[in-house]
Chains A and B, each alone.
Chain A
Amino acid sequence: MKAYLTRRYWFSASHRLHSEDFSAAENQAVYGKCNNPHGHGHNYALEVTVGGQVDQQTGMVCNLVDLDRFVQEKILERFDHQNLNTLTEFKIVVPTTENLCVEVYGILQQGFHHAQVEKVRVEETMLNSFEYAGGKEIRF
């Protein structure tokens, strides 16, 4: 039996949306308030969905302890209370929540092997959220 487990986490970070490919006026036009050079912050909610066969012995897709530990060490400690623009992955890539989703998915895909990484969902605010499944269609 294949099931999908989703766990929700939180982190807070600041960022500034600014692209070197745009002129100052274009950056202002495209990003508006998000282009403020001093940055601004969000409480991000992160949902990680992993899938796999439910182990007959444990009744689990994967042990939550392993998922929590991985996310804590590799994602929350990396991004929580940071200015995203100062991190190497966002030196060139603009730290939009789209790109954050893709980045977090990549970290999980590369390093988490206790279950299949299906999807990452990031809420930037209570009003907007972003989902990435490595390019796959997302089933609801």
Chain B
Amino acid sequence: MVYLTRKAEFSASHYYHNPEFTPEENQRIFGKCNNPNGHGHNYTLEVTVKGQVDQRSGFVVDLKQLKDIMNREVIDAMDHRFLNKEVADFKDAIPTTENLAISIWRRLAPKLKLAELHRVRVYETPDLFVDYYGEA
């Protein structure tokens, strides 16, 4: 089994707000992230897939195909977007880094044919990242 990781970058804005909370609760729990006008990050995405090395190609996965899937499913949908307003995944879920990682996993996992998705890592900033392994 060999693991392969491909990186991508995207920039997006978001804010944290739960309509079930009072304004005071939203402010207390989410702090500055509750600003309804949003704020932005340069996100770094790391997608790790695993699989056997194909005898003929020497690949775990065709990197170009992986790159195309990541671009189509994630980057095209999220880059330079306001996540709360423009990405349907966050209509009812708060676009935290945790939910972003889960959402990206759900977008990618069904599209990968040969290799298996192992981990989605999303860096919100260089000193904060979330890993999701598809666990319930």
Contacts and interface: CB of A to CB of B under 8 A. Distances in A.
A48 to B, nearest CB: 11
Interface stretch (B52-60, B64-72, B95-103, B107-115): B95-103
A57 B131 contact: no
Given A1-B136, A6-B130, A7-B128, A60 B20 contact: no
Nearest to B20: A57
A6 B98 CA distance: 11
Contacts of A49: 131
A6 B3 CA distance: 21
B131 A6 contact: yes
Given A54-B102, A57-B18, A57-B20, A2 B93 contact: no
Interface residues of A, number: 21
A58 interface: yes
B127 interface: yes
B135 A59 contact: no
A6 B128 contact: yes
A139 to B, nearest CB: 8
Interface string A50-90: 00001001111101110000000000000000000000000
Interface string B113-136: 000000100000011111111011
A65 B18 contact: no
B87 interface: no
B98 A61 contact: yes
A47 to B, nearest CB: 9
A8 interface: yes
Interface of A: 1-9, 49, 54, 57-61, 63-65, 139-140
